[in-house]
Structure 1
Amino acid sequence: MKILIVDDHQLFVDGMRYLLKKLLVTKEVEEAFRAEDAIRILESGKTFDLVLIDLCMPGMSGLSVLRRMRAQGIYTPVVVVSAEEDITKIHETLTSGASGFIPKTHNGEQMRTAFEAVLAGEVYIPPDIEKRLAGYDARRTLDCGSITRRQREVLRLLAQGYSNKQIAATFYLTEHTVKAHVAALLKATKTSSRTECVHVASSRGLL
């Protein structure tokens, strides 16, 4: 088994090399400390069974390497091993074709589980990150057009306990218009009451 590790920290690369040889039947581990070097190696014709890559490196990012690989038709499984916590960036790596995301805080046994899952053709995402991704997807679904700016403002006042009459007075709207906004919010959050709507919106980070 041949593995390419792409990370700008020598200590991490050394530790990962040791861990891979201990956990997996790894005949060869090659390393690259810059994204540009990784691209050069991958486009040289060398083949690998797995690529492990950090997101944050000087110059080009790990995400750039992943996108370049896919653009060049290189479909070697790529697992991001990173301390990155921004769910937007994690989501971006997975939608760009990564076969998994492993936090650098994972212990050896968790790493083994992740590697085995990816090498078996699965996508590995830790349960806590999977939960955050689900919430992120829900927020994006609502943010991408189903809730207008005015409806978001109405939602904010709903959360503060305002009545339709009070909301209408605040925004100089008719109560009929406010009722329409509230109905749209209930539909978007798939709820049947104002209280439930606020709860769901809050859980999805909309408040």
Structure 2
Amino acid sequence: MNEPMTASDVIRIMVVDDHTIVRRGLLAYIATVPAFRMIGEAADGEQALALLREWHVLGQPLPDVVLMDLQMPGMGGVAATEEITETYPDVKVVILTSFGEVERVHAALAANAAGYLLKDADPDEVVTAVRAAAAGDVHLNTAVARRLTRRMAAPSVGLTALTIREREILALVAEGQSNRDIARHLVISERTARTHVSNVLAKLKLASRTQAALLAIREGLVPPPS
């Protein structure tokens, strides 16, 4: 005879994705897993952090695992993952995205993500990844893990050579923002922004901001202009 679940057996889950249909689909699936409980949803990183702050202030239980999309308007998945894991160390983040490029995986793992899944993953793999994260382990999609393995012996080049902040700088450069715009966006001095841009160009061995923008678009860091 199965023993009834206790509160400590339940894994609380939050979903962060800018597509309502994705959130609804995950909500419907999570409802079918006995040990899982959906406790909140958000359309981007800023909304997710606002909810976490509200729950924390009210003394409400935080999610054990956050299923996080990568590319969203406003605060994207990598930045949100980094802030969540730094502010709430007990909250684990599993990336659930359509993008499997190694550079994106590196950025997510550098931000302390506890897993990386592609959106075409089998539902059972989502369960596996959530349980692994809640247990303190890391689960990677098989295809993603294979790509990482192939890169392990390769030197750090391209986007993999950049820090999370430098990737953010590169994305802003690709959007056509000036050093002054970047400084205002990141709340740093214009001199610091200029230094960051110079470091990015040097690491990528590029001669101009235009080349940096083209690289960012080619690597999927920002969408191409419409």
The answer to whether the superposition gives a TM-score over 0.5 is: yes
Contact 1:35 1:60 in 2 (8 A): yes
Is 1:67 paired with 2:82? Answer: yes
Partner residue, 2:104: 89
Does residue 1:132 correspond to 2:142, yes or no? Answer: no
Q: Does 1:2 align with 2:34?
A: no
Report the CA distance between 1:83 and its aligned residue. Answer: 0.4
Structure 1 match to 2:3: none
CA contact (8 A) 1:6 1:34 kept: yes
Deviation at 1:13, TM superposition (A): 0.3
Question: 2:26: which partner in 1?
Answer: 16
* SS in structure 2 of the partner of residue 42 of structure 1: helix
Which amino acid in structure 1 is aligned with residue 137 of structure 2? Answer: E
Q: Distance in 2 between matches of 1:95 and 1:75?
A: 17
Contact 1:3 1:51 in 2 (8 A): yes
User: Could you say which residue in structure 1 is the equivalent of 2:44?
Assistant: 34
Q: How far, CA to CA, are the matches of 2:38 and 2:129 in structure 1?
A: 19
Amino acid of the structure 1 residue aligned with 2:36:
T
Number of equivalenced pairs:
143
What SS does the corresponding residue of 2:32 show, helix, strand or coil? helix
Q: Distance in 2 between matches of 1:140 and 1:95?
A: 17
The equivalences for 1:42-81 within 5 A come to 42-44=52-54, 45=56, 46=60, 47-81=62-96
Instruction: Give the structure with the higher percent helix.
Output: 1
1:101 to 102, 116, 126: 116
Query: Percent identity between the aligned chains?
Result: 26
Cα pair distance change 1:112/1:133, threshold 3 Å: same
Distance 1:109 1:70, change over 3 A: closer
* Unmatched runs of 5 consecutive residues or more in structure 1: 145-207
Contact 1:54 1:80 in 2 (8 A): yes
Which residue pairs with 1:123 in the alignment? 138
* C-alpha displacement of 1:24: 4.2
Tell me how large the CA RMSD over aligned residues is. Answer: 1.9
Cα shift at 1:115: 2.1
Instruction: Give unpaired runs (5+ residues) of structure 2.
Output: 1-10, 159-226
Q: Report matched runs for 1:166-185 at 5 Å.
A: none
Distance in 2, Cα, partners of 1:21 & 1:12: 14
Q: Which digits, 9 at most, give the CA deviation of each residue in 1:24-79, with x for residues without a partner?
A: 42344311012111111122214111111100001110111111123324430110
With over 3 angstroms needed to count, the CA separation of the structure-2 counterparts of 1:11 and 1:53, relative to structure 1, is same
Q: Does 1:25 align with 2:40?
A: no
With 37-46 and 132-141 compared, the bigger mean Cα shift is at 132-141
Q: For the Cα contact (< 8 Å) 1:17–1:29, is it kept in 2?
A: no
Distance of 1:123 and 1:97 partners within structure 2 = 10
